[in-house]
Chains A and B, each alone.
Chain A
Amino acid sequence: MFDFQQATPALDRSVSLRRQVTAQAMQVFGGWGYREIQIPLLEHFDALKRGLDEDQIARSFRFVDRGGNLMVLRPDVTPAVAKTYAYQLRGLPLPLRVAYANKVVRIERAFGAEEVESYQLGAERIGRKGLVADVEVLLVVLEVLERLGLRRFHINLGDHKLAQLLLSATGAPRRIRGEVEEAILSRDPDQVRRILVNLGTRSRYIDATSALAGLEGGLQQLDVIEKTLNGNTKVRERIAYLRDVERTVDELGYGSRVRIDLGELDGPGYYTGIGFSVVSEGASRRIARGGRYDNLIGQYGADTPAVGFSFSLETLVELLHPKASRTSRKRHNHEVVPVSTHSPADGFEDALERRRNNMSTRIVARDDQETS
């Protein structure tokens, strides 16, 4: 459990909370064998852009440096890690587990304005496909959240591969697919149907695709798709895989925390398999996001499968800050040590004794001459 009492005070309490949350998350990452990696904030745009989608490029900050190179302030850590692996770390034994606490610079929508800088705490597991790797990262995410003392959260688990299979089967051209994806993300089954009906898509593909947009539980969604597209081997295999992931997580006691939600297709364009978001009813933004990206490293070098996630430090602090405020108010009464201005040594002795015992201490000067 995260101990807010030990948070180092700062003028802005969120500063110390950020530091503590970062330390706690990195400790969990380390406990699972993830080693910290430092990625430069400034990148050559031409080198990085292969791993960025249009939206990420549009939200990034680019400029020409004194040497005439087009530079970009890193808008996402994962492509930068993928590039670093492909260019510098290739050859290390796989799976390679790396973790980071890094700043990203991109335009994010916020209350009435745009946020530019944000921090990501994340981990990437490079070099292995399949259920073991996918479940491992889910467990790391769950442990971080548990260690931070968060109780009201869920991991919504979707699958980009299944969605791509269904969208391809509709025969929709790329632009229309984008519209359908938007409608699925908005959980607007009416709109999904409207678009596909106008396109002349066959009804069973419409039913299966619009099931992705439903609010029903994920297992129900899987049932609908399986029943509708029973003849499609790839779809059936993918559904079986998701059921295996769900069953494994359930057997580990996290069935109530991780729920399959096939509409969870948000995120950058490089996800190719499972995709997940961590949400809490009290937070307006997602706490974390992750997924499998088996083609991203191949944009920079040899194809290497990988899966990873990142926490939004700002959202974690937003959720934890009220708790920190409540606990910090309690400690003021018992930690005060009065120190007389007339003979201060005694008071300071008390203060030193408390500190030797690692007790919180706050010195208050007492002017004896005035009070006497």
Chain B
Amino acid sequence: MTRSERLRMALPVSDELDAICGHLRACGFGLPNLEMPGLHEAGDPIDCGYSFEVFRLDPADVATYVEHAISHLGVMSTDLLRESESAVWRPYTFPFGEYPMVLAAPRGESFASLSTRPNLRIASPYPKLAQDVFAHRGMPVEIVPVADSYTACLLGLADAFVDRLMDPAPMYEHDFRVLEVLEHRRLKLVVNRALGSRRRIAIQKLVKQLEEHQPEPPQSIEVPFETADEFNPGPYLEWDNDTEGEVAG
């Protein structure tokens, strides 16, 4: 098979890599051990006339490789796509990898209380999303681009954060609450926009196979909103049965 008869697919080295590989294996792909860098042959299990080559990439780089036609397709999450502003097609949504993108702040804060701060600082690994959210509301904020938004808020670098909510436990542990779910981050198959007709047909076949072999979606994540606190008193408050309200612990 010549080079021109190959379809190159970039897979992200992320928490979802195992699930993505599992999904592709269910479609018949004989994926090798992706621990090794470089291109790996994956054959043509969907009988599309192209042999697949897979390789691993940093999750944030996938769209760049796909947009510039180094890779024909790849897998990338919408949160990173938004940050990269890459122009790629997204013909398939994976049934896993969906997480809420939230604006969170220490418990007791609200949009109103945050907006009264003279220099509101928002920590986020997603600075473009954070900027858009507050620009849309006409609130001047300073975005603090950090990878660990919890630490940034806990140590006073920022007043609130915008981040992906994968697990609500740290929220309760650090006494943060979600003020708003901004959007849902999803995992997409991303495709170069300049593909020829034959490659487009091959990718249509792949999408069809992925749809037919979808695993069960995982349970949705419980979002720890501020309003949920009346049922879950925080670590510094106790429930008073007489007054049926919170009192200082």
How far does the alpha carbon of A190 sit from the alpha carbon of B88 in the complex, in Å?
Answer: 15
* Residue of B whose beta carbon sits closest to that of A112: B64
Alpha-carbon distance A284/B68, docked complex (angstroms)? 4
Q: Does B147 lie at the interface of the complex (its beta carbon under 8 Å from any beta carbon of A)?
A: no
Q: Which residues of A from 256 to 311 have beta carbons under 8 Å from B?
A: 256, 259, 279-284, 286
A109 lies within 8 A of B89 (CB) = no
Given contacts A154-B196, A215-B207, A259-B197, contact A189 B68 (CB under 8 A): no
| Binary contact readout A133-160 vs B (1 if CB under 8 angstroms, 0 otherwise) | 0000000000000000000101000000
Let me know if A284 and B196 touch, CB within 8 A. Answer: no
Q: Is A237 an interface residue (CB 8 A)?
A: no
Known contacts A215-B204, A216-B204, A154 near B85 by CB under 8 Å: no
A189/B91 contact (C-beta < 8 A), A109-B85, A284-B69 known: yes
Residues from chain A with a CB closer than 8 A to the CB of B196 are 152, 154, 281
A187 contacts partner chain B, Cβ-Cβ < 8 Å: yes
A259 vs B200: C-alpha distance in the bound complex, in angstroms? Answer: 12
Q: Return A226 CB to nearest CB of chain B, in Å.
A: 20
Most chain A CB atoms below 10 A, which of B90, B91, B194: B194
Q: Establish whether residues B194 and A215, one from each chain, have CB atoms under 8 Å apart when the complex forms.
A: no
- Which of B88, B89, B204 has the most CB atoms of chain A within a 10 A radius of its CB? B89
Distance from B87 Cβ to chain A, minimum over Cβ atoms (Å): 8
Q: Is the CB of B69 within 8 A of A281?
A: yes
- Within 8 Å by CB of A187, from B67, B90, B194, B197, lies B90
Complexed CA–CA distance, A39 and B199 (Å): 41
Does A314 interact with chain B (Cβ within 8 Å)? no
Residues of chain A with a CB closer than 8 A to B77's CB:
none
- Quick check: is B158 within 8 A (CB to CB) of the other chain? no
Chain A positions within 8 Å of B85 at CB level:
109
Query: Restricting to B193-208, which residues have a CB under 8 Å from any CB of A?
Result: 193-197, 199-200, 203-204, 207
Residues on A with C-beta less than 8 A from B92 are: 190
Chain A residues with CB under 8 A of B51: none
* Contact residues in B for A283 (Cβ distance below 8 Å): 69, 194
On whether the beta carbons of A187 and B89 are closer than 8 Å, the reply is: yes
Expressed in whole angstroms, the Cα–Cα distance for A338 and B200 within the complex equals 55
Residue numbers in B under 8 Å from A154 (CB-CB): 194, 196-197
Question: What total of A-B pairs shows CB separation below 8 Å?
Answer: 52
Contacts known (A279-B194, A281-B195); A187 close to B69, Cβ less than 8 A? no
Cβ contact within 8 Å between A282 and B69: yes
**Which B residues are in CB contact (< 8 Å) with A256?**
197
**What mask results when residues 89 to 125 of chain B are scored 1 for a CB within 8 Å of chain A, else 0?**
1111100000000000000000000000000000000
Chain A residue with Cβ nearest B194? A279
Whole-angstrom CA separation of A90 from B10 in the bound complex: 54
Residue B188 interfacial (CB < 8 Å) = yes
Q: In the bound complex, do residue B68 and residue A188 qualify as a contact, i.e. CB atoms below 8 Å apart?
A: no
- CA gap between A216 and B203 in the complex, in Å: 10
B191 within 8 A of partner (CB)? yes
Q: How large is the interface on B (under 10, 10 to 19, 20 to 34, 35 or more residues)?
A: 20 to 34
A 233-259 contacts with B by CB, 8 A:
256, 259
Question: How far apart sit A284 and B137, CA to CA, in the bound complex (Å)?
Answer: 35
B89 surroundings in chain A (CB, below 8 A) = 186-188, 215
Distance in angstroms between the alpha carbons of A215 and B31 in the assembled complex: 25
A334 to chain B, nearest CB (A): 32
Which residues of chain A in 172-189 are interfacial with respect to chain B, using CB atoms and an 8 Å cutoff? 186-189
Q: Which residues of A contact B192 (CB under 8 A)?
A: 281
Looking at A154, A188, A256, A280, the one whose CB has the most chain B CB atoms below 10 A away is A188
Contact code string A101-126 (vs B, CB < 8 Å = 1, else 0): 00000000101000000000000000
Residue in A152, A215, A280, A284 whose beta carbon sits within 8 Å of that of B200 in the complex: A215
How distant is the Cα of A188 from the Cα of B68 in the complex, in angstroms?
Answer: 20
Chain A residues numbered 200-222 whose CB sits less than 8 Å from any CB in chain B: 214-217
Contact B194 A190 (CB under 8 A): no
> CA separation between A259 and B90, bound complex, in Å?
20
Nearest A residue (CB) for B69: A284
Which residues from B are CB-within-8-Å of A191? 90, 93
Min CB–CB distance B35 → chain A (angstroms) = 29
Once bound together, how far apart are the Cα atoms of A40 and B10, in whole Å?
45
A residues lining the B interface (CB < 8 Å) = 109, 111, 152, 154, 186-191, 214-217, 256, 259, 279-284, 286
With A187-B191, A215-B89, A281-B195 already in contact, 11 other A-B pairs whose C-beta atoms are closer than 8 Å:
A152-B196, A188-B188, A190-B93, A215-B200, A215-B207, A216-B204, A256-B197, A279-B194, A281-B69, A281-B194, A282-B69
Q: What 9 pairs across the A-B complex have the smallest Cβ distances?
A: A279-B194, A187-B89, A284-B68, A188-B90, A190-B93, A186-B90, A187-B91, A215-B204, A215-B91
The contact sample of 29 A-B pairs, CB cut-off 8 A, is: A111-B68, A154-B194, A186-B90, A187-B91, A188-B89, A188-B91, A188-B93, A188-B188, A190-B93, A191-B90, A191-B93, A214-B91, A215-B89, A215-B91, A215-B191, A215-B200, A215-B203, A215-B204, A216-B204, A259-B197, A279-B194, A281-B69, A281-B192, A281-B195, A281-B199, A282-B69, A284-B68, A284-B69, A284-B194
